[in-house]
Amino acid sequence: MKKVVIITGASRGFGELIAKKFQKENFQVIATMRNIDSSPSLKELDNIDIKKLDVTVKSDIKNIVDFTIEKYGRIDVLINNAGYGAFGFLEEASDQEIKNQFDVNFFGLIDCIRGVLPQMRKQKDGVIINISSIAGRFGLPFTSLYNSSKFAVEGLTECLHYELSLFGIDIKTVAPGSFRTGFHDSVNFTESEKKEDLDDVREKLKIALEEGIKKEPPFPFGFGNNDDVADFVFKQSITKSKVSNFIGRDTKIINFFIKIFGRELLFKIIKKQWFNKIMSKNKL
């Protein structure tokens, strides 16, 4: 019997590639997405069910879990991949923008975990992989909402791995570095609560973000290969590995840097690199 995987945010980016990888490895794939027509290339493949799931809609989650158990009788793997970045000054984000970031990246992920747990506990078996980010391990400027949502994912996973191990369920994070997916084009710049005195610096920040994130990665190591992430996630799902796992050359270099020089020096370098772009020299 084929093993069964549920993937969130499979319309594009990592999620779509992860769905293809599991399909190739002979899994039955439940590829979930907000709009079921978003990925024509997944539709052409065997052993993939394309199903509607917005991770912020609890009834969607229940429908996916019920469908999977009814049709296949088990859930072996959950990949919590859906997510987006809310960037900008915290002060200028509206309550709704703040809530949306956590609803998708954190509370939606919690709801998906809670959705599959009864079945995985019954099976006394299962793997949950939460796609976090290197941004969930150290802070970056002007991304406090995104970073904190991913820090929350890291913290949740680290804590949950104790209790889930009681039931034979493995939970871990996969934290990618910089990869060129749709992520950068979907960044939500939070500015609903504009402050006039931030007008000047906000405009420079938007230009710097545009240049620094959309055109080239925030770290000077180039973008990684997206297929490597899909291969890595698959590998983590079939092997006993650490609770936190990193993928991308930049993550290796940054983790090594932190180990040798500490986080404070990294913060200083990041400040210099970023603030040079948006502040006058005398404010540095």
Ligand X SMILES: NC(=O)c1ccc[n+]([C@@H]2O[C@H](COP(=O)([O-])OP(=O)(O)OC[C@H]3O[C@@H](n4cnc5c(N)ncnc54)[C@H](OP(=O)(O)O)[C@@H]3O)[C@@H](O)[C@H]2O)c1
54 binds ligand X (CB under 6 A): yes
CB closer to ligand X, 127 vs 129: 129
Which one of 26, 35, 59, 282 is in contact with ligand X (CB under 6 A)? 35
Q: Which two tokens stand for residue 27?
A: 């899994």
Backbone angles phi, psi at 138, to 5 degrees: -150, 155
Name the minimum Å distance from CB 46 to ligand X: 21
- Report 76-95 residues binding ligand X (CB under 6 A): 81-84
In the chain, the N- to C-terminal Cα span, in Å, equals 61
Helical H segments across the chain, by residue range: 13-24, 40-43, 58-72, 95-102, 108-123, 144-165, 199-209, 226-238, 249-261, 263-278
User: Residue 266: helix, strand or coil by DSSP?
Assistant: helix
Strands 4-7 and 244-247: unpaired
Q: How many residues bind ligand X (CB under 6 A)?
A: 30
Catalytic residue among 20, 133, 146, 172: 146
- Residue 157 CA from chain centroid, whole number: 13
Query: Near ligand X by CB under 6 A, which window of 31-39, 154-162, 202-210, 231-239?
Result: 31-39
In the residue annotation, 11 being an active-site residue is answered as: yes
Name the minimum Å distance from CB 129 to ligand X: 11
In the residue annotation, 150 being an active-site residue is answered as: yes
Provide the binding-site residues for ligand X, judged by CB under 6 A. Answer: 8-9, 11-15, 33-35, 38, 53-56, 81-84, 104, 108, 131, 133, 176, 178-179, 181-183, 186
